[in-house]
Each structure stands twice: as structure tokens, then as C-alpha cells.
């Protein structure tokens, strides 16, 4: 005799067989995956190749993909590197190193940024010029859009950011100016700027102060600096639609009498809206009990269904998301 609930958790293994798109997907599929270098394919079946990337799986919950990394030695002024089909990795994280001729020197262009499908940005910066540390996250939509397109600006980020524990810089809160439309240099050319006081700037093209390597300062010289920008596809804002296949489905009570509630977790609200329920009997013929959509769940009414075992499928436009048995007593 069956008693109690039957809980079936459906994790589809096919996702693991694919090359994931960014560190957020890797973290989502395997929350215990450590920080390090992973292979990703940012645009899936699109033309971009698979590439190595640096994942931070611990800071603020993890899932961060490195898109800008410059460890710069004092009194040097090497050119920046814009990556189009690869990403910078992380080399040394201390000050006083010249990584300008290595795979650790560069940042992603706007097309690659768009392919990474992120909605959150993290700035990290330190300098030999002072002891303040920049370390904050933001979901400011203007900044996300600016870094993906090179058009627009970061205006509004100064009141829309979350400082992490070590954050001590005046930027971004002190911003009083914004610069627009810097294209592939949106992340390096004053995305954070308090006029003549605190800057985030990398490179040396400014006529008033030719060699700028700035983290929350305006030194007009070239101290050793370390700049990083990371991006994340924030779980709370919804992972890519493929991640729907990791949805967890639960039917209760099960066995059920007159009605049962089908609930889902690991699914963003905007993804849930695109799903519906299909029910089949034990010989594979579709049946049509009354199914009502609630906020985050479905209610299934037994109606005229006879006793027996049924299959509940949650489906969307790309196919079956999750499946569970339903037993009607």
C-alpha cells in the first residue's frame, strides 16, 4: 500500500554533456565546482569558438566570469588588448607585476560581452598609490547595457551598487561625471569618474595626464595597479532558458485524491510563465483533467480520471522540462 508523498527530482544529464556558456551556468549545474579555469562556449551553437575562462566560484556566492584583467607594473604604459574570440585569464593578484605580454592582459570586446549573457558586474581594483580597495557588485541596467554595446554610460551606478566586505574606495559613490559611447573601451575609459579626483582609468591617451593607471585616484603618474571586471548571470534574475531543464518538480499529495499541487523550484518566474502541463495515462494516451495555473505552481483536479498511475510532464516551447509520476487513489 502506498503512503505518503512521492517526490521525484528530475536533473537532466544532457546539459552536462554540452559546453556551458559561462561561469554562472557552470556554477548553477555544479554549485561545488571550485574557482579556476574552465572551457566555455559563450554563444552555444553560434560562431564563437569554445574558449578558456577564469571562474570565481566563491566571491559573493560565486558564478563570476572574468572579462577584464590588467596587472600593470609602475612606470610602464603598455597598450591595452581587446579580445574578440578569447578571454583574459587571471595571473598574479598582487601589485608590482608586468603581465602585459601574457594571456593575463586584456579585456573582452562588446560582441563577446553580449554573448556572455550577464546581468551583473563586479569591479575589483587595487593600486600602489594608496590602500583603498575597490570591490563592489552592481545590477545597474545602464552599466550592463553599456558594457555589452559600448553605447550609453554608467550614469546611475553611483546609487545602484553593493559594496563587498573589503570595499573602501570613494568610487562609485562619489561619481560626479559620466562619459558616453566608448565602444570597446567602455570598461577602461572612465566608467567611474569623479572629476579631477577619483578615476577608474586604464591606459595613456589623455592629453592632460598622459599615462593614466588609476584606481580611485588621480595620480598623473603610473603606480603599479591591478584592475579586474567580472560578470555574472544572476540566478535570481533568471539563467539561460536551457537551465530550465534543471527545474525541480514536486507533486503533493501523491498519491492524490481529488486534487494535487505541482510545484517547481530552480526556475525563474519569467521562465515558469512559458511552461504548461501535459498528462498521460499508463498506456501513453493524453488525458485532460482541469489544470489551473497559480503563482509558481499548478493545481491538477482529478475530475473524471480513474484510479491509476499517470505521467505529468512540464513542457515549454523547446520540449519537456521535467516529468513526474502522479498516482490517483
Interface pick for Ca ion out of 10, 15, 43, 263 (rule CB under 5 A): 43
Asked whether the beta carbons of 42 and 240 are under 8 A apart, the reply is no
Q: How far is the CB of 53 from Ca ion (least distance, A)?
A: 13
CB-nearer residue toward Ca ion: 40 or 157: 40
Q: Cell triple for residue 22?
A: 559561462
Q: Cell triple for residue 238?
A: 533568471
Q: How far is the CB of 24 from Ca ion (least distance, A)?
A: 17
C-alpha torsion sign, points 47, 51, 54, 55: positive
CB-nearer residue toward Ca ion: 2 or 17: 17
The stretch near Ca ion (CB under 5 A) out of 45-53, 111-119, 145-153, 160-168 is 45-53
Interface pick for Ca ion out of 20, 26, 48, 300 (rule CB under 5 A): 48
**Per rule CB under 5 A, is residue 206 in the interface with Ca ion?**
no
Asked whether the beta carbons of 79 and 203 are under 8 A apart, the reply is yes
Among all chains, which residue has been given the C-alpha cell 499529495?
A: 253
The stretch near Ca ion (CB under 5 A) out of 21-29, 35-43, 149-157, 229-237 is 35-43
CB-nearer residue toward Ca ion: 42 or 129: 42
**Per rule CB under 5 A, is residue 41 in the interface with Ca ion?**
yes
Q: Rg of the chain's alpha carbons, rounded to an integer?
A: 25
Q: Which of 272, 269, 254, 189 is nearest to 227 (CA)?
A: 189
CA distances in angstroms from 113 to 81, 185, 211, 215, listed in the order given: 15, 12, 27, 22
Q: How far is the CB of 48 from Ca ion (least distance, A)?
A: 4
Residues that bind Ca ion (CB under 5 A): 41, 43, 46, 48
Amino acid at each position: 500500500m502506498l503512503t505518503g508523498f512521492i517526490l521525484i527530482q528530475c536533473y537532466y544529464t544532457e546539459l552536462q554533456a554540452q559546453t556551458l556558456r559561462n561561469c554562472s551556468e557552470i556554477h548553477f549545474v555544479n554549485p561545488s565546482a571550485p574557482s579556476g579555469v574552465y572551457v566555455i562556449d559563450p554563444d552555444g551553437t553560434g560562431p564563437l569558438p569554445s574558449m578558456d575562462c577564469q571562474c570565481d566560484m566563491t566571491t559573493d556566492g560565486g558564478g563570476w566570469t572574468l572579462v577584464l584583467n590588467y596587472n600593470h607594473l609602475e612606470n610602464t604604459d603598455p597598450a591595452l588588448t581587446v579580445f574578440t574570440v578569447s578571454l583574459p585569464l587571471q595571473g598574479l593578484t598582487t601589485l608590482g607585476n608586468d603581465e602585459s605580454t601574457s594571456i593575463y592582459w586584456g579585456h573582452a570586446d562588446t560582441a563577446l560581452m553580449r554573448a556572455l549573457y550577464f546581468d551583473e558586474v563586479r569591479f575589483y581594483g587595487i593600486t600602489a598609490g594608496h590602500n583603498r580597495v575597490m570591490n563592489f557588485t552592481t545590477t545597474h541596467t545602464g552599466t550592463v547595457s553599456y558594457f555589452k554595446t559600448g553605447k550609453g554610460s554608467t550614469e546611475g551606478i553611483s546609487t545602484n551598487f553593493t559594496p563587498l566586505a573589503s570595499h573602501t574606495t570613494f568610487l562609485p559613490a562619489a561619481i560626479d561625471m559620466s562619459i558616453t559611447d566608448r565602444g570597446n573601451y567602455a570598461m577602461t575609459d572612465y566608467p567611474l569618474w569623479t572629476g579631477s579626483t577619483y578615476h577608474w582609468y586604464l591606459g595613456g591617451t589623455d592629453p592632460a595626464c598622459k599615462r593614466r593607471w588609476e584606481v580611485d585616484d588621480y595620480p598623473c603618474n603610473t603606480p603599479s595597479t591591478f584592475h579586474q571586471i567580472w560578470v555574472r548571470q544572476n540566478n535570481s534574475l533568471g539563467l539561460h532558458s536551457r537551465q530550465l531543464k534543471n527545474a525541480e518538480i514536486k507533486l503533493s499529495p501523491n498519491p492524490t485524491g481529488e486534487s494535487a499541487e505541482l510545484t517547481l523550484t530552480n526556475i525563474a518566474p519569467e521562465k515558469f510563465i512559458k511552461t504548461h502541463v501535459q498528462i498521460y495515462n499508463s498506456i501513453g494516451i493524453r488525458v485532460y483533467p482541469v489544470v489551473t495555473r497559480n503563482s509558481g505552481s499548478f493545481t491538477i483536479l482529478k475530475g473524471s480520471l480513474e484510479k491509476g498511475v499517470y505521467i505529468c510532464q512540464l513542457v515549454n516551447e523547446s520540449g519537456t522540462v521535467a516529468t513526474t509520476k502522479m498516482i490517483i487513489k
